Structure 1
């Protein structure tokens, strides 16, 4: 079936595309995958197989129906010029910090007032609003009007005091995320405006240290490695979170984090230049991320990373990132096992993935496991997109990943199409064997890949059942298939020829 419209504008194929504006989805598909069409297959699957597939995807529909909606009271609290100051176009950097300090206090006071009076919408009108870290409260929506820019100023003092947060799957008392919510219910960040995290080759990003071509001067005294290593030690030693304080601290904060929250909506915004991950919900239930653009090409600029979350919908979004587009996580090593909370009941649909390390990714912080992960009607294509579907773990992470299903996917240009790798970072050096099983891909077009597969399991923990149906791929190489227990295929073509897995080859 085709993902496109014909010249007369009639929609062809994928008639159940919904919720996202169809015209935008079709336009995105055409823009990034013009040579790629979902194939017409002449033969029809058996009734039993169709029923099995239908039953699988009924779970996805049930997830979408189960997510509790955010309902914000109608009262509006508008940030005015005498409360929150707009940055003049010729302002000096020192003035920006001063304004950001003032605006942080004023905007937080407005959010607190809205919360205390029962909730409502805190509105930022058009203009540039320099700010420091802010904290959302229950029943409050932060709304950015069209042409509003919430500009987070990259001065570390504006992200103090430290708060209870997670960094790469490990808890600590760290910098406050730029927009942060802790144990809040019924909250939203919405609008047609833009939120800029202030990350650049001069600010935040150099704390990464050496990275790719390293477009900054590396300062060994101001990079994350030492703090990252120390935090790992604290985690493995079981040090209480309130004692996990790094001095100095060069672990960059995410742009938006909800921690132990319920009923969360993030909608409509453009997020740019994050110091670290862009959207990082942790232990959050009933989460909707809709029609958001994530554009950030700095180090660790993951787009949306739900961690140990349940009932999640990510739809209609666009990702153009310096790291994974969507990465599902559940804690690193000891912390992940301590919480033992999988990321589960996740539905990703109608999204476009451009640049990034991976389109739909699970891991690497996946020690708590993952269950019931679904993705449909996605377009992934870019010379700068490394992988389509990627699962990355190792014997220190471990984790049980069960039931990951993708359908109606266009992968245009990519390096590796399907990756399951147990040898990420520490590889076999650990006592916690990963378990990945019940992976399903249906109606998938792969237009241009260097390798179709990179599947690398352990002999004592082989990768579980993979089912491929109606998959058409063009790739320079088949790739790597090591320690895979079973791959079932139906109507699979590689470079124009039928393909079946032969474990002896």
Structure 2
């Protein structure tokens, strides 16, 4: 095993591919053939159930909607959705035009469809978002409704080439983040005030029932944009989402989700593009993410709340996506306490001087979690700022983040990866002596330019197979 001394190997060029052939069976890990994980991916894709809707159409204009961008159409959306659901389902049509609304709550068997030149403008008045059971940064609570929300629904969709515009900026939702870059100044209330986010985290640590974790007015915890909570069989297709208050696409405790052809363009604080949390059997394909935070961030709850819920996120596939700006292309964590496994990323392009990392896993000893079986192949990376692959058990962004829940990271594979500029490191991996980062494989990886080949601390079994960094072949490290 690589010792707890930090190893930094200097160089100036980067191309990386990680391939690892290990699967976890119950409590033991067994080695499998190279092709097996990707065969499993095909089975996952085939097994995801698909939405199916009646051909009936319910035009929101027939329920009183006015496309002037000023009239509040919340009631028109509610009436159209209710009528559609009560009559066996179908399509709720948002025709061309600009429609202002508060929260939209979807029902089973309803496809909310945006015409090509339709734009839904969401109110920036918090009073237009009723208190519902939701989540904030991996902790459940009663808070402002997500802008679009569905709870305990089946066979539900948002489709069409129109725009969902959260209208968030430095004068409204974003200022609540407490970030100076987003309009906050000393004396202005924010989520960082002691009675707000810290109180929520403390409530979860004390196992206070979610129904008693009531926030909302005066607590400055921003709502998610699109949240499917405890839903099954969901489609999000072709829409464009801009100017989000907070996390953007958030499947929570949901199963069988397809996100296809979606464009996310939102650079606000915590503007993650897609955050599957406690969710399983997710296919994210043909999407573009240009974000103020992680492009895709796979979650499974924060600290005590994640351990209480104890639902791992698993069977998540990312295909043919483009990642532009963001903290990471495909990220796992940091709200990761229930664990993540079986993640497949293939045929993606990541490129921006404002993209920090390509693939990242982040956790710490407060979060804990078992993160395993992450397979990446056929990746084209132009420029990333920091590194191509970062696996970190010491993630620390909110002050002290240490506890007694030592995480596990194992079985991570990059294969057929081409990188032009990898930033500071091709691989940055840090584990604990008692829980090293284990089983990393880079196979057929080429990194043309990078400052240092790797930074490694407590890493066990890292393999470089046919991998060239800064025009030199990299040898595997013997334990």
| TM-fit CA distance, 1:63 | 1.0
Among candidates 382, 385, 394, match of residue 355 of structure 2? 385
Provide the rounded CA distance (Å) in 2 between the counterparts of 1:251 and 1:224.
Answer: 9
Provide the rounded CA distance (Å) in 2 between the counterparts of 1:256 and 1:340.
Answer: 23
Change (3 A) 1:376 1:427: farther
Aligned to 1:481: 456
Kept after mapping to 2: 8 A contact 1:206/1:223: no
Aligned to 1:183: 152
Provide the rounded CA distance (Å) in 2 between the counterparts of 1:337 and 1:52.
Answer: 33
Aligned to 2:471: 496
Aligned to 1:25: none
Gaps of 5+ in 2: 1-13, 18-31
Deviations 1:390-435 (A, max 9, x none): 0000000000011000000011100211001111116772000110
Among candidates 459, 465, 490, match of residue 439 of structure 2? 465
Provide the rounded CA distance (Å) in 1 between the counterparts of 2:52 and 2:16.
Answer: 38
Provide the rounded CA distance (Å) in 2 between the counterparts of 1:245 and 1:503.
Answer: 53
Aligned to 1:195: 164
Aligned to 1:454: 428
Aligned to 1:79: 60
Among candidates 58, 68, 72, match of residue 39 of structure 2? 58
Change (3 A) 1:219 1:272: farther
Provide the rounded CA distance (Å) in 2 between the counterparts of 1:233 and 1:249.
Answer: 15
Change (3 A) 1:219 1:120: farther
Deviations 1:46-87 (A, max 9, x none): xxxxx8221111011111111000111111101116611112
| TM-fit CA distance, 1:480 | 1.4
Aligned to 2:256: 286
Deviations 1:22-58 (A, max 9, x none): xxxxxxxxxxxxxx9999xxxxxxxxxxx82211110
Deviations 1:277-332 (A, max 9, x none): 11011011000000000000000000000001110000000000000000000001
Higher strand share: 2
Among candidates 363, 380, 388, match of residue 417 of structure 1? 388
Deviations 1:158-188 (A, max 9, x none): 012x000011110000000000000000000
Higher helix share: 1
Taking structure 1 as the reference length, the TM-score comes to 0.86
Aligned to 2:84: 114
Aligned to 1:314: 284
Number of equivalenced pairs: 446
Aligned to 2:370: 400
Change (3 A) 1:59 1:164: same
Equivalent residue runs for 1:85-124 within 5 Å? 85-87=66-68, 96=70, 99-100=71-72, 103-124=73-94
Higher relative contact order (CA 8 A, sep 6+): 2
Return structure 1 stretches of 4+ with deviation > 3 angstroms. 36-39, 213-220, 222-226, 501-504
Indicate the SS of the match to 2:432. coil
Provide the rounded CA distance (Å) in 2 between the counterparts of 1:399 and 1:356.
Answer: 24
